[in-house]
Structures are given as structure tokens and as C-alpha cells.
Amino acid sequence: MDGGLPRRITYLTLMGATALVVAFVLGVALNLSLGPATGGILNAFATAFVIGVAVVGVKKWYAPILVWLVFALLAWPTPTMGPPGPHKILIGIATGIVLAIILALPIFRTRYIWIRYFVAGAAMSAFMTYLILQAMLYLNLSPEAAAKLQQYLPYLLPLYAVLGGAGFAVAHRIFETRLARLPYFSRL
């Protein structure tokens, strides 16, 4: 055994934790400076970028699921992904599964590979936002925030989809043109 699986699991775990730190810091900074519910706007790009680097680096079916599971487990007690609670684990796993399915579809293996990653990132961000709202409504978590999110959902979903898609596509481009040449990444 070449040690590839433990290396990939370590890498995905670290990238999931990195994505949470980036999302938490940006979310808190934006919420404090611009007001509630603004933290997710920049997070859509930044989190999609970090998770994109993780998933592009480990081209295995389990990569999106594992990185989102780590992200969600660490996000449990934080305001990232909505109000704190164990529901975030299910949201993270579901988001990872959807991302894995989209990346596995043969229709997105085109000459313009960035389209595949844009669509995957867009679907990931929009799907996760929708799941967060549904969890807030179903579990009656923070009703005033849920009402505000529901009111702005027609505007936020396309915005998050474009930003998430852009973050994922940029992650693919940077990984394939720069990071893939580095010795650590070539061994994943």
C-alpha cells in the first residue's frame, strides 16, 4: 500500500476544517460589519473555492462527502450554516452526496471542463442554502431569521449559485494549473 488513502483522508479533513475557518471568519466579519444574514454572500465563493480545491485534488467519489461531513461536524456549534445544532451534519452529508453525484455525471465531462465545476459549485451552494432554510423552518430554529431568508430566497439562491459556481471553477483552474505540479498534491 502506498499510503494514498490515509494521505487523502488527512488532506480532505484539513481542507474541510480550513473551509469552516474561512467561512466562520468571513461570516462573523460580514455579519458584524454589514448586519445579520450577510455573512453567506462572500462565503459562497470562499467556501466553494476551498472545498473545490479539496475535491479537485482528490478525484474520488467520497471526497465531497468527507469534506462536507468534516465541515458540518465542525460547524455544529457555530452560526455557520445557520443556527447551531446536529441538523447541520445531515445538511453537510446531503450536500456532499449531491456534489458527488453531479461530478460523477458523464454529461459534464466536456471539452470545457470548467463548466462541469461551475455547475457542481452552483448546485452545491444553492442546494445547501435551500436545505438550511428547510431545516430552520421544519425545526423552528430562529423563526425571524428563517422568515428573512425565505423572503430573500428568490434573490439569494441565484446569487449563491453564481458565487459558488465561480468559486468551484476558479478552484479547478488554480489546482490544475498551479497546485497539481507541487509534490504533495501529485501524490494524492
Other CB atoms within 10 A of residue 164 CB:
30
Question: What is the residue-wise DSSP string for 122-157?
Answer: HHHHHHHHHHHHHHHHHTT-SHHHHHHHHHHHHHHH
Model pLDDT, residue 178: 87
Model pLDDT, residue 142: 81
Other CB atoms within 10 A of residue 54 CB:
28
Q: Which cell is 182 given?
A: 507541487
Q: Tell me how long the chain is.
A: 188
Q: How buried is 112 (Cβ within 10 angstroms: 0-12 exposed, 13-18 middle, 19+ buried)?
A: exposed
Q: What is the pLDDT along the chain (188 residues), one digit of tens a residue?
A: 356 888 899 999 999 999 999 999 888 888 778 766 667 778 889 999 999 999 999 989 999 999 999 999 999 998 888 889 999 999 999 999 999 999 998 876 667 788 889 999 999 999 998 999 899 888 888 888 888 888 888 988 999 999 999 999 999 999 989 888 888 877 77
Per the listing, cell 430562529 goes with: 142
| Those residues with Cβ within 8 angstroms of residue 115's Cβ, 6 or more apart along the chain or in another chain | 108
Q: Degrees (nearest 5) of the Cα angle 170, 188, 61?
A: 75
Q: Hey, where are the domains in the chain?
A: 4-186
| CATH class label, 4-186 | mainly alpha
pTM for this model (two decimals)? 0.90
| Those residues with Cβ within 8 angstroms of residue 58's Cβ, 6 or more apart along the chain or in another chain | 8, 11, 12, 188
Q: What is the CA radius of gyration of the chain?
A: 16
Model pLDDT, residue 1: 37
Residue 140 has phi, psi (to 5 degrees) of 55, 45
Model pLDDT, residue 72: 96
The phi-psi region of residue 112 (left if phi > 0; otherwise alpha if psi is between -120 and 50; otherwise beta) is: beta
